[in-house]
């Protein structure tokens, strides 16, 4: 594939090496990036980077195609079970690859429990709701617990030792570190192409603490936008699922209905393919509401969180 990159106009051996080091090791990764990102990675001017991207897109025939062709491509999309059949049904079969699924809700609503569950169910064979894959877990709130992976794996009949080996976890200490870890995911995929889900728990926590006050909001949102675009590119290029959790804030101006709203504003609202609102009910019962999807109707699902993981009531 490096030879194909070398043959692009304005590349050559030296620039191809720089691109490879920065993670651009195939035509799709170049075609799906921005000229600014490529310009920085290859140390070339913006005009040259635009030519390189255009040539990569031309080779991949990234123009218009019929809806029939798009439908055929969508047949390759896999679904990862949440552990609850009712929640899977709400999501059209589970968490989709090549998409960002965001779950927001108050503390204890089940967002992190679903994150742990997906890190396990992704390892199941296809006939049991998985894809026989591995997981990446980026932890920004000290929520990752290998003990939960162990319990959930045992409950599904998986070898707990193997299940733990199939989850790559990293702690992000701030928003820059979080973005760096997202970049490193692509390097990890080269070593472990079986990685089929990237989990970030939570997506907005570090951005929220790094950027306080109204004056920093524009910078925060721009940075979050870049981060989300990077995640979507990883999902598209490597055919994997992205699951992110999100915090909520209280809105005292809301007199009727739910006074909470998700962090991240319109940037996250537009970039996330599926949006789930989770809330806690009595004891172990949880309610999930699908509030945004390009192809599914709004709806609700009720499930429970127990020691074994997410299950139907």
CA atoms within 13 A on the CB side of 244: 29
294, 273 contact by CB (below 8 A): yes
Nearest partner of 197 among 74, 60, 95, judged by Cα: 95
Q: State pTM to two decimals.
A: 0.84
| Tens-binned pLDDT, residue by residue, of the chain (313 aa) | 567 888 888 888 888 888 888 778 788 888 878 888 888 888 888 888 899 888 888 888 777 889 998 888 888 899 999 999 999 999 999 999 999 999 999 989 999 999 999 999 999 999 999 999 999 999 999 999 999 999 999 999 999 999 999 999 999 999 999 999 999 998 999 999 999 999 999 898 898 888 877 777 788 888 888 899 999 989 998 999 999 999 887 655 544 555 567 877 777 877 889 999 999 999 999 999 999 999 899 999 999 999 999 999 9
225, 241 contact by CB (below 8 A): no
**3-state secondary structure at position 79:** strand
What domains lie within the chain, and their CATH numbers? 2-59 (1.10.150.20), 73-312 (3.40.50.300)
């Amino acid at each position: 594939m490096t030879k194909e990159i070398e043959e692009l106009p304005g590349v050559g051996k030296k620039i191809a090496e720089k691109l490879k080091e920065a993670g651009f090791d195939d035509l799709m990764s170049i075609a799906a990036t921005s000229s600014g990102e490529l310009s920085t990675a290859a140390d070339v001017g913006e005009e040259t980077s635009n030519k390189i991207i255009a040539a990569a897109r031309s080779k991949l025939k990234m123009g218009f195609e019929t809806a029939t062709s798009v439908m055929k491509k969508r047949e390759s999309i896999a679904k990862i079970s949440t552990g609850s059949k009712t929640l899977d049904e709400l999501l059209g079969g589970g968490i989709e690859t090549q998409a960002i699924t965001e779950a927001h809700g108050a503390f204890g609503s089940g967002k992190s429990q679903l994150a742990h569950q997906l890190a396990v169910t992704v390892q199941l064979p296809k006939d049991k709701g998985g894809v026989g894959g591995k997981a990446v877990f980026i932890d920004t709130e000290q929520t990752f617990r290998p003990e939960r992976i162990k319990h959930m794996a045992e409950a599904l009949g998986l070898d707990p030792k193997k299940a733990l080996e199939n989850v790559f976890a990293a702690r992000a200490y701030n928003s820059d570190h979080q973005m760096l870890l997202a970049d490193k995911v692509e390097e990890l995929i080269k070593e472990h192409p079986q990685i089929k889900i990237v989990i970030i728990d939570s997506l907005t926590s570090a951005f929220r603490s790094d950027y306080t006050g109204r004056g920093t909001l524009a910078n925060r949102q721009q940075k979050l936008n870049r981060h989300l675009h990077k995640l979507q590119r990883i999902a598209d290029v490597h055919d994997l699922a992205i699951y992110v959790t999100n915090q909520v804030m209280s809105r005292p101006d809301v007199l009727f209905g739910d006074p909470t709203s998700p962090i991240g504003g319109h940037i996250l609202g537009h970039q996330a393919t599926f949006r789930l609102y989770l809330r806690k009910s009595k004891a172990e019962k949880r309610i999930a509401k699908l509030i945004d999807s390009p192809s599914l109707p709004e709806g609700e699902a009720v499930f429970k969180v127990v020691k074994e993981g997410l299950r139907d009531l």
